[in-house]
């Protein structure tokens, strides 16, 4: 019963619009899915609605976007129609460099001989963060989260607004009430305001170091047992950013383990997955000399449907 609940909850988290009929342990997961892509977000699923994000001058805004689908979606961000460098720079040269890297980011390591012989689920959820440091008036405006698969693309718009103390009457209380969650989110996920302000002051004096940040990763993945799966972990930061994966037991994954392969872009390829050996939480850690960032990925190998005789 516990396993059934796990499967139901996981499929619900990825979106019920994908047909994946999962049964308890000794049973099957029927591969009757349809190729699709969608935004996750609980009650906030309307892709036509603009998400409002608030940040103070000199502070930091963190925009988060999550998409589910099959095959696994990739996510990138646009500003004024140009692709944003996830390192944080928004100028034209950085945007051009980011655009040139699109091919590399779209690399799939799942086109293996093993997967060619199987009918795979490819059911996945991807999450992305966009950091806007040292927020100024020029940063206000629309940012677009684009989620895509090889055949489909969807987008949702976020609007960054500058917080100001120049509010009148009841507007101050309303603003505080409506955006309390935004303030708490920034408190939990951003660098503290003092550190952010110090970085802003250094901006015109010397290159601003960027902490290690994971900007796109696989949140959940459901796949048929025996398949090879690719778990995203794309990171950026100043200097050399080292990526380390921990297995479900919390042990570092090394080149000596033949079932795992850490790719140059930080992604993890897990070969010939099984429920007994691979079901659980994996952690990706990105670190440079300035900071460490960590995300978690839940991998669920589902039993293959037995052929009827």
Q: Residue 111, Cα to own-chain centre: how many angstroms?
A: 22
**Torsion of the alpha carbons at 187, 192, 196 and 199, rounded to the nearest 10:** -150
- Which of 198, 218, 223 is CA-nearest to residue 209? 198
**What single DSSP character describes residue 29?**
E
Q: For residue 30, give both structure tokens.
A: 């029927």
Confidence of residue 43 (pLDDT cuts 50, 70, 90): very low
- Which of 140, 131, 162 is CA-nearest to residue 57? 162
Q: Which tens digit of pLDDT belongs to each residue from 67-120? A: 999 999 999 999 999 999 885 444 444 444 444 444 445 556 666 656 666 678
Confidence of residue 244 (pLDDT cuts 50, 70, 90): very high
- Which of 144, 168, 134, 167 is CA-nearest to residue 55? 134
The answer to whether the peptide bond before residue 184 is cis (omega within 30 degrees of 0) is no
pTM of the model: 0.75
Residue 7, pLDDT > 70, answer no
When mean pLDDT is compared across 17-26, 38-47, 200-209, the lowest value belongs to 17-26
SS3 content of the chain, % helix, strand, coil (to 5): 20, 35, 45
124: Cα within 13 Å, side-chain hemisphere: 24
The rounded percent of the chain whose pLDDT value lies above 70 is 61
Q: Which tens digit of pLDDT belongs to each residue from 276-298? A: 999 999 999 999 999 999 999 99
Q: Which residue has the tokens 């669920």?
A: 300
CA gyration radius, the chain: 21
Cα angle value 98/143/85 (rounded, 5°): 15
Q: Helices (DSSP H) in 165-256: which residue ranges?
A: 171-178, 180-189, 193-202
């Amino acid at each position: 019963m516990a396993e059934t609940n796990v499967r139901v909850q996981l499929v619900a988290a990825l979106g019920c619009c994908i047909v994946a009929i999962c049964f308890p342990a000794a049973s099957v997961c029927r591969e009757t899915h349809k190729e699709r892509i969608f935004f996750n977000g609980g009650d906030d699923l309307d892709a036509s609605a603009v998400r409002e994000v608030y940040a103070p001058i000199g502070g930091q805004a963190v925009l988060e976007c999550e998409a589910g689908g099959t095959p696994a979606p990739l996510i990138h961000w646009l500003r004024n129609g140009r692709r944003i460098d996830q390192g944080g720079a928004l100028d034209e040269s950085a945007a051009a460099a980011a655009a040139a890297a699109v091919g590399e980011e779209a690399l799939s390591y799942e086109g293996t001989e093993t997967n060619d012989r199987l009918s795979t689920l490819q059911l996945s959820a991807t999450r992305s963060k966009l950091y806007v440091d040292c927020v100024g008036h020029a940063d206000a405006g629309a940012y677009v989260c684009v989620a895509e698969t090889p055949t489909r693309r969807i987008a949702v718009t976020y609007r960054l607004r500058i917080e100001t103390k120049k509010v009148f009457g009841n507007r101050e209380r309303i603003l505080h009430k409506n955006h309390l969650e935004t303030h708490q989110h920034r408190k939990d996920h951003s660098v503290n305001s003092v550190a952010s302000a110090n970085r802003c002051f250094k901006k015109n004096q010397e290159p601003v170091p960027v902490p290690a940040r994971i900007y796109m990763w696989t949140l959940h993945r459901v796949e048929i047992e025996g398949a090879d799966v690719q778990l995203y972990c794309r990171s950026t930061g100043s200097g050399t950013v080292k990526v380390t994966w921990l297995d479900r037991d919390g042990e570092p994954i090394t080149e000596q383990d033949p079932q795992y392969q850490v790719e140059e872009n930080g992604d993890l390829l897990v070969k010939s997955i099984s429920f007994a050996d691979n079901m659980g939480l994996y952690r990706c850690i990105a670190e440079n000399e300035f900071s460490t960032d960590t995300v978690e990925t839940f991998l669920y190998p589902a039993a293959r449907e037995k052929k009827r005789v």
